[in-house]
Structure 1
């Protein structure tokens, strides 16, 4: 980072803190978290052209420093020295594949965009993308990967991964690629073939999830903008979940109106697809909350016209009353701007002290609020195929410095470990994959 950029970044931080302090004084105390099936969501207060901008400076982990695990659990580094690891996929033989990629913004066009870019650089959220998938192998089962190889490289901001039979699928920002894969391989040399093209830019992550029968792939595709700022035409086939039929090669929009659906998971009792969604910015600390929801085929979830059911966002013009009337209310609020990205199903008994089925969620952490939120890995208990109504429980925390000015790490993707009794967490600021398991084991 050049000296001029560093000075600008520091200036942005000071201006941002002043704006945050002003909003705290003028808007009153920070509302309680909007969490659960019936959250209390404050009325939206549009923040205008310069919304609240607050992110911690990326610090990384000191030698021997660890995130805080829930009682009865302990964390250890499964793999270190990665470059911005974002997503995890565990193969049937126990190998772990990790997508390493970074957001690469275009040239900023406004003062706020310049401020956002400078702030994200300070937070280690943007930069040259590694564009690779690394394979990790814990051959001796001690909870640490001692074998590492580059499975694929030269990709286009890879994120989601799936293995079906002997085909390895990768969700690049511009589409899904299929590669031949021999079981046990540590490197793929063959060229891939494209299955579907996506529009790159904006929310760039493309998560993947195979159907239980292996016949279809589901892909999360986020919006280009916050609320359709550049018109609705450029948002076509975005803010949605795609379904790809692998036999025919056909693809279609499975559900839409989901601003940025990232993690995807199956609830095994009902066979229903679930996702976590990052909602819109610029309306307040808890307005609207990010959420966990079941996904209905053909369903519309409100973006950009409305949020949390049919609460109209008057900033979006023209409005569409017919679409608002169709909007489905999400199942479970996760708090405002938590950046809930990672998602996986965790059966009861996987971790000590977690004796219910439920969803594990990696909360990457906020930028558009006066008090930081997220920066943790949480568990949402389920009963009878749905959230049981209990509040989320922390699995892993301690990613922020006590004064919240710095972040040691930021959790993203989550996956059940190869031994089925641990959890793996991708930490893109810490450049590490954490393993969480029973304490003392």
Structure 2
């Protein structure tokens, strides 16, 4: 297969519609914060709070899968005023997570193809090199360089069932030797297959996200030995049977030992990132389906060690899932409420914090998250990249539409964002896995 790589400087590849400057819009709150693809536009700020939640079943649960079509010639991605977005790469095989190596090389997980690919820009920003770094992997998703800093010695890859690593020196375009298996037995098969990976700033711990097997632990039954005995010996809110160690973030040392559960009750933490200001891990999460158009909000949140985020018994605090009514009253007041609630069914995936100097100063320390888009909503939502607003390193609870325009009409879409990453020059890369493209946002 041929791969066509585009430089941001190539006007022929430009697909952009900057939103004109306008007075700052008010923050949409309550019911006004909810919307759909037709009301999305860069600069729209939303604040969804726990008190805004709809009642379970307030609207029917609707299956509305998108029909993916080729990018129409007239399609235009929208970005805020002062920004532009260019096609950076196309012809990729379902690009998902994107991570930038300390030397500036762009590593891309082609999950279905089982590849990790490396893209390197030459003079003038034009991508000059495109190589498969490693192949034959099992649904690779997460990518991390270890140790942290300018001179990593390893590239870690989170497969759906394991964590492996390759020897690495800056500039390597091909993996050095065979993969070394660090964790051989991640929970896998069925349900959510993505596994992301990050290292804590002190290089002492490796965190790996593992999504649930099911939507809401249907038919999980009772734990062996009974609930009381189980609760006394397991982390708060831990699941059992086929959901053992799932809907969690797991912690290891960098050699894959000292395995433990870091946090529980997180239905599907797809994207992991470390917040530079605090060193805290953050998680971009897909919440459950089947309770109507406006339940349950997805979320982007800091992760507290030992915390329980509700799944499957509760959501967004002490809101009980009616499908598990009365099952775990002991957990009702022990649920950690996420920091930033996102439109339900948006399918929040990859995330990254902005530390570059190219964007305006008010973006410094904010986060970006990719919203893959809904299937369980009557009016399509997601299919965009959002900005998570911070103030003094703490989330305000607000998020802002940043890149929109991937939806064609109520039935069709041409792109579904997955990964976001900040390059060495401070631009933002966005992968979308249906059209096989990566986009570059500059200011």
Scaled to the shorter chain, the TM-score interval is 0.7 to 0.9
Matched residues in 1 for 2:277 and 2:33: separation? Answer: 35
After TM superposition, give the deviation of residue 326 of structure 1 in Å.
1.5
User: Which of the numbers 420, 431, 436 marks the counterpart of 1:414?
Assistant: 420
Partner of 2:403: 396
Partner of 1:136: 119
Partner of 2:290: 282
Q: Structure 1: which 5+ residue stretches go unaligned? A: 1-28, 102-128
After TM superposition, give the deviation of residue 248 of structure 1 in Å.
6.9
User: Which of the numbers 138, 147, 165 marks the counterpart of 1:156?
Assistant: 138
Partner of 2:188: 200
> 8 Å contact 2:117–2:134 — kept in the other structure?
yes
Distance 1:71-1:55 versus aligned 2 partners, 3 A rule? farther
Partner of 1:97: 107
> 8 Å contact 1:95–1:418 — kept in the other structure?
no
Partner of 1:42: 54
Q: Deviations over 1:62-116 (max 9, x none)?
A: 4685522221111112211001101101001110010012xxxxxxxxxxxxxxx
> 8 Å contact 2:314–2:320 — kept in the other structure?
yes
Distance 1:245-1:309 versus aligned 2 partners, 3 A rule? same
Partner of 1:250: 258
Partner of 2:26: none
User: Structure 1 stretch 241-250 or stretch 201-210: which is displaced more?
Assistant: 241-250
Distance 1:222-1:355 versus aligned 2 partners, 3 A rule? closer
> 8 Å contact 1:400–1:408 — kept in the other structure?
yes
> 8 Å contact 2:33–2:48 — kept in the other structure?
no
Partner of 2:216: 227
2:219 maps to 1:212: no
Q: Deviations over 1:213-272 (max 9, x none)?
A: 222211111000001014141101000111111157222110010000111122222222
Partner of 2:237: none
> 8 Å contact 2:154–2:165 — kept in the other structure?
yes
Q: SS in structure 2 opposite 1:191? A: strand
User: Structure 1 stretch 321-330 or stretch 350-359: which is displaced more?
Assistant: 350-359
Q: Structure 2: which 5+ residue stretches go unaligned? A: 1-30, 36-45, 147-151, 221-239
Distance 1:261-1:382 versus aligned 2 partners, 3 A rule? same
After TM superposition, give the deviation of residue 292 of structure 1 in Å.
1.3
> 8 Å contact 1:85–1:100 — kept in the other structure?
yes
After TM superposition, give the deviation of residue 141 of structure 1 in Å.
4.1
Q: After superposition, where does 1:332-347 map in structure 2 within 5 Å?
A: 332-347=340-355
> 8 Å contact 2:153–2:168 — kept in the other structure?
yes
Q: SS in structure 1 opposite 2:177? A: coil
Matched residues in 1 for 2:365 and 2:219: separation? Answer: 41
Matched residues in 1 for 2:179 and 2:365: separation? Answer: 37
Matched residues in 2 for 1:66 and 1:46: separation? Answer: 35
After TM superposition, give the deviation of residue 394 of structure 1 in Å.
2.1
Matched residues in 1 for 2:338 and 2:63: separation? Answer: 26
> 8 Å contact 2:54–2:295 — kept in the other structure?
yes
Distance 1:393-1:248 versus aligned 2 partners, 3 A rule? closer
Distance 1:171-1:428 versus aligned 2 partners, 3 A rule? same
Matched residues in 1 for 2:50 and 2:121: separation? Answer: 43
User: Which of the numbers 356, 376, 380 marks the counterpart of 1:368?
Assistant: 376
After TM superposition, give the deviation of residue 354 of structure 1 in Å.
4.7
Q: Deviations over 1:387-427 (max 9, x none)?
A: 124x32222110001x23211111111010131x2000111
Matched residues in 2 for 1:406 and 1:80: separation? Answer: 20
User: Which of the numbers 116, 125, 145 marks the counterpart of 2:127?
Assistant: 145
User: Structure 1 stretch 74-83 or stretch 190-199: which is displaced more?
Assistant: 190-199
User: Which of the numbers 57, 61, 65 marks the counterpart of 1:55?
Assistant: 65
2:158 maps to 1:171: yes
Q: After superposition, where does 1:273-352 map in structure 2 within 5 Å?
A: 273-316=281-324, 319-347=327-355, 349-352=357-360
Q: Calculate the TM-score normalised by the size of structure 1.
A: 0.81
Q: SS in structure 1 opposite 2:182? A: strand
